[in-house]
Amino acid sequence: MSKLVTKHNKLISASYSLGVPEQRIIFLAIVAARAQDKLIDARGVLQIHASSYQEQFKVEKHSAYKALKSATRGLFDAYFEYDDIHEQTGKPAHYIVNWVQKIVYIDTAGMIELQFTDDVIPLITRLSEQYTEYDLKQVSELQSEYAIRLYELMMQWQSVGKTNEIAIDDLRKKLGVKPEQYNAMNNFKARVLDHAVKQINEHTDITVKYEQHKTGKTITAVSFAFKKKKILEHIDPAKNKNRDTATPDLFHNMTDSQISTFSAKLAALPELGSNAPIGKSTAEFAAIIASDLADENKQMRYMPYLAKLGYQPKKRKV
């Protein structure tokens, strides 16, 4: 069953700086609150256990305990900022909001109890529009707070697969980069952007790239483009009654010549083209497929397409 993280777009676009443990605890609290239907009550106390942290984020038990303990003070002090229209005056306003109004760490029980502030509740529940939702598992393996925030920003644009230009100063705030950190553009790119993009491409369901925009010779903004990774369907021969009986069920040792020929043909197939990583040429995609064809754990997924292209494996001796 999916564990959905749901946030209002005001919160997705907000500026805040939270470490990885703090963000993960917020995720677990949102999921737990929705599951317990407690979010309508701002006074509802939510319990986050070290065992849940350990299971969701695949860490050792002692690391989960340490994360809960270290994040307690950080969460209590944490706040986020966003711009909105003030309801009473109708004027533009800048809001500064604390995440939690109370947090308790119980060491011997390996858990924390927390209460979201009244202002947070509407931003994570009772959402009918202008919200962003994604599966918690997609950010569970991200080790950088910047990667987590960047993934959330991408999800806000998931219906179109690209963002508008985002000013560098604005992006720094949204990602939680402190004013004194990575002021040189090359450091910001290497330590924040490139590192975050690499983690997202390796560990989530999307591949993302960014484009730099300049004013004169100075990089003043970036825009992002991304797409969902298409998972190649693995066909189970035992369940696929309509399969071509000539399609092999076992790994076949293809010759180097066959791998070279068919990897190029596979890379050119329209139905496989969407699997090519963003930024990779057809030749580079063919090289990836060539490696897969020599891998007994990955070759099978290509067999229906190989058969379509006329590949005929040698018949096995009985």
Walk me through the domains of the chain, giving residue ranges and CATH numbers.
1-140 (1.10.10.10), 144-229 (1.10.10.10), 232-318 (no CATH)
pLDDT truncated to tens, each residue of the chain (318 aa)?
568 888 888 888 887 888 999 999 999 998 887 766 555 555 678 999 999 999 999 899 999 999 999 999 999 999 999 888 898 999 999 999 999 999 999 999 999 999 999 888 888 875 556 788 888 989 999 999 999 999 999 998 988 899 999 999 999 999 999 989 999 999 999 999 999 999 999 899 899 999 999 999 999 999 999 998 875 544 444 444 444 444 444 567 888 888 888 888 888 876 676 566 655 667 777 888 888 888 877 888 888 888 888 887 766 554
Question: So what's the pLDDT on residue 243?
Answer: 42
Q: Which amino acid is at 10?
A: K
Question: So what's the pLDDT on residue 113?
Answer: 94
Residue among 161, 138, 302 at smallest CA distance from 234: 302
* Both tokens assigned to 85: 């229209």
**Burial class, 47, CB count within 10 angstroms (exposed 0-12 / middle 13-18 / buried 19+):** middle
Question: So what's the pLDDT on residue 126?
Answer: 59
- Range 242-251 contact pairs with CB under 8 angstroms and sequence separation of 24 or more: 243/304, 244/304, 244/307, 246/307, 246/312, 247/303, 247/304, 247/307, 248/303, 248/313, 249/300, 250/316, 251/296, 251/299, 251/300
Question: So what's the pLDDT on residue 99?
Answer: 94
* Both tokens assigned to 93: 């306003």
Question: So what's the pLDDT on residue 65?
Answer: 94
Rg (CA), the chain: 24
At 281, give phi and psi (nearest 5°): -80, 170
* Both tokens assigned to 246: 């000539």
Sequence-ordered list of residues with C-beta below 8 angstroms from that of 216, at least 6 positions apart, any chain: none
CA-angle at 54, arms to 48 and 57, nearest 5°: 100
* Both tokens assigned to 37: 């239907």
